[in-house]
């Protein structure tokens, strides 16, 4: 586990803001002061535009809801091109230390550099901070959607971020490592793989599964949501995805016994009627579920999935509600959290004031909810709904709305701020 820093570390260049206070961890929970220091990273491409617009909207909502009693003290840290200019490297240690100190951060998208040691800066950040849960809410705000039941699309997906086939443990078919593994399997277990087979390893651990499930259940409790559905392909991959299912249930009925009823218990003890105040924990096989969020979205709410399933279902779910300009995300560890949109740097829109800032703004909403400022998040979501249903949208949405003139991103941002201020 990567520890939260309780006192300021030695920074090479950054300086902790003189105003505001850091978020701390007390008795296993975040203790959030009225003026928390929150790190932001602008990112590359459209990042600087959408991050500054997101900060403006968040500030307006916090001001409106708490009337000056609360305020975010933003603290800039660097990654990507801006870090290259400031530090001569893409991901300076200062940035990691700043997030470990401030606990939460808002980030813009980063270009994945080609031909460097990093597979991706984003992956490097998640690894260095051990942000094991990728949390992706999917919500319909009235935007153009290809889904007949879009108004029922309201899910929060908890995707495991560190294990599974995405752990990066794989070898080319013609590599000596793959050759060695093929020989080992043949000699030790009598398993014959084709000579031209590439090999990938799919690790799924009890530790990794249960810390994710713990986060999802705590989220469901804190936000009054449910059911919590475990998505897996355990009928085929018994000791990885099947075990994911078992370990997730095990955690639910041991650590959250007072809060949950499993699907089995629902029928055995409660005649199919969920008792008042309890959260249903059930499971579904992945392929079935990929269909059912389209055919019966009302049956799903919080979804917990291993890395690969989580990737597929979150992209599918976001497509149902109109795509990437609206898709928010947050990577969280035990305490630290880094909110960022699902989309990338959209280089062709950089500096043009046309990229939709909503995904970045909604990522900010996740951060607000994470620190317990839910009222401010609600005000922002209400403004987004009002703007979209009033046809005040950026070009990505306007092009699917016949007769609607697109707003510039800055105009759209101002619309949101005006709605928020008006109340
Ligand atoms: P992308 O940046 O997400 O852009 C793909 C397309 O999605 C854009 O051309 C645009 O579609 C649409 N789009 C994305 N964001 C939008 C927004 N805010 N408003 C309106 N439309 C938006 O994906 P990419 O082109 O594959 O990747 C570009 C760079 O971003 C790469 O270096 C990649 O590695 C990086 N990346 C970073 C992250 C991250 O930081 N977490 C995530 C993904 C990718 P239209 O052309 O149809 O208008």
Which residue's alpha carbon is at the smallest distance from atom 27 of ligand 1?
344
Q: How far apart are CA 124 and CA 119, in angstroms?
A: 8
Q: How many CB atoms lie within 10 A of CB 11?
A: 16
Please give the torsion angle defined by the CA atoms of residues 276, 281, 285 and 291, in that order, rounded to the nearest 10 degrees.
40
| Contact (Cβ atoms closer than 8 angstroms) between residue 253 and residue 261 | no
**SS percent in the chain: helix, strand, coil, step 5:** 45, 15, 40
Distance 286 CA to ligand 1 centre (A): 27
61 ligand 1 Cβ < 6 A: no
Q: Where are the alpha helices (DSSP H) in 223-285?
A: 243-255, 263-270
User: Checking DSSP bridges between strand 199-200 and strand 170-171, what pairing results, if any?
Assistant: antiparallel
Residue numbers annotated as active site:
166, 233, 287, 311
**Atom of ligand 1 at shortest distance to CA of 340?**
41
Most distant pair of Cα atoms in the chain: their distance: 73
Contact partners, residue 20, CB within 8 Å, separation at least 6: 33, 35, 36, 37, 71, 72, 73, 75
pTM for the model: 0.94
User: Checking DSSP bridges between strand 302-305 and strand 154-160, what pairing results, if any?
Assistant: parallel
Which residue's alpha carbon is at the smallest distance from atom 24 of ligand 1?
344
Alpha-carbon distance values, 270 to 205, 266, 278 (Å): 32, 5, 12
> What DSSP line would sit under 206-217, residue for residue?
HHHHHHHHHHHH
Pocket test for ligand 1, best of 346, 354, 399 (most atoms within 8 A of CB): 346
Helix pair 374-389, 409-422: axis angle to 10 deg: 120
Write the DSSP symbol of residue 18. Answer: S
User: Closest Cα partner for 384 from 358, 346, 347?
Assistant: 358
Pocket test for ligand 1, best of 82, 324, 341, 350 (most atoms within 8 A of CB): 324
Per-residue pLDDT of the chain (423 residues), as tens digits, is 789 999 999 999 999 999 999 999 999 999 999 999 999 999 999 999 999 999 999 999 999 999 999 999 999 999 999 999 999 999 999 999 999 999 999 999 999 876 555 668 888 899 899 999 999 999 999 999 999 999 999 999 999 999 999 888 899 999 999 999 999 999 999 999 999 999 999 999 999 999 999 999 999 999 999 999 999 999 999 999 999 999 999 999 999 999 999 999 999 999 999 999 999 999 999 999 999 999 999 999 999 999 999 999 999 999 999 878 899 999 999 999 999 999 999 999 999 999 999 999 999 999 999 999 999 999 999 999 999 999 999 999 999 999 999 999 999 999 999 999 998
Tokens describing residue 153: 């699309």
Evaluate the CA torsion angle 117, 120, 125, 127 in order and state its sign. Answer: negative
Burial level of 381, CB count in 10 A (0-12/13-18/19+)? middle
Distance 166 CA to ligand 1 centre (A): 20
318 ligand 1 Cβ < 6 A: no
Please give the torsion angle defined by the CA atoms of residues 270, 275, 281 and 283, in that order, rounded to the nearest 10 degrees.
40
343 ligand 1 Cβ < 6 A: yes
**Atom of ligand 1 at shortest distance to CA of 329?**
41
Distance 158 CA to ligand 1 centre (A): 22
């Amino acid at each position: 586990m990567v520890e939260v820093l309780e006192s300021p570390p030695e920074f090479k260049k950054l300086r902790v803001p003189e105003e505001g206070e850091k978020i701390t961890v007390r008795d296993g929970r975040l203790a959030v002061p009225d003026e928390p220091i929150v790190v932001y990273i602008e990112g590359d491409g459209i990042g600087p535009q959408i991050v500054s617009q997101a900060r403006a909207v968040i500030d307006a909502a916090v001001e409106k809801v708490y009337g000056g009693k609360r305020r975010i003290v933003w603290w800039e840290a660097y990654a990507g091109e801006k870090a290259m200019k400031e530090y001569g490297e893409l991901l300076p240690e200062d940035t990691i230390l700043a997030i470990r100190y401030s606990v939460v951060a808002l980030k813009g998208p980063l270009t994945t550099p080609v031909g460097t040691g990093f597979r991706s800066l984003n992956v490097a950040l998640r690894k260095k901070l051990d942000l094991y849960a990728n949390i992706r809410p999917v919500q319909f705000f009235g935007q153009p959607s290809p889904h007949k039941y879009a108004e029922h699309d309201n899910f929060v997906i908890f995707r495991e971020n560190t294990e599974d086939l995405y752990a990066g443990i794989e070898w080319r078919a013609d590599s000596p490592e793959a050759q060695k593994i093929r020989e080992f399997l043949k000699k030790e277990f009598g398993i014959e793989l084709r000579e031209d087979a590439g090999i990938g390893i799919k690790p799924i651990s009890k530790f990794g599964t249960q810390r994710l499930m713990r986060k999802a259940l705590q989220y469901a409790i804190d936000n009054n949501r449910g059911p919590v559905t475990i998505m897996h392909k355990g009928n085929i991959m018994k000791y990885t995805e099947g075990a994911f299912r078992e370990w997730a249930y095990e955690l639910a009925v041991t650590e959250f016994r007072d809060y949950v009823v499993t699907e089995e218990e629902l029928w055995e003890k409660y005649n199919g009627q969920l008792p008042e105040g309890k959260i249903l924990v059930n499971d579904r096989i992945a392929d079935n579920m990929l269909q059912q969020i389209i055919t019966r979205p009302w049956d799903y709410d919080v979804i917990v999935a291993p890395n690969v399933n989580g990737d597929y279902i979150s992209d599918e779910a976001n497509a149902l509600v109109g795509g990437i300009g609206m898709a928010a995300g947050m990577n969280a560890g035990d305490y630290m959290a880094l909110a960022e949109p699902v989309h990338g740097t959209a280089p062709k829109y950089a500096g043009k004031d046309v990229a939709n800032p909503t995904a970045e703004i909604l990522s900010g909403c996740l951060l607000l909810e994470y620190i317990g400022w839910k009222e401010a998040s609600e005000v922002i979501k209400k403004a987004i709904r009002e703007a979209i249903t009033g046809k005040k949208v950026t070009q990505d949405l306007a092009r699917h709305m016949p007769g609607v003139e697109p707003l510039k991103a800055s105009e759209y941002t101002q619309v949101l701020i005006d709605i928020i201020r008006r109340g």
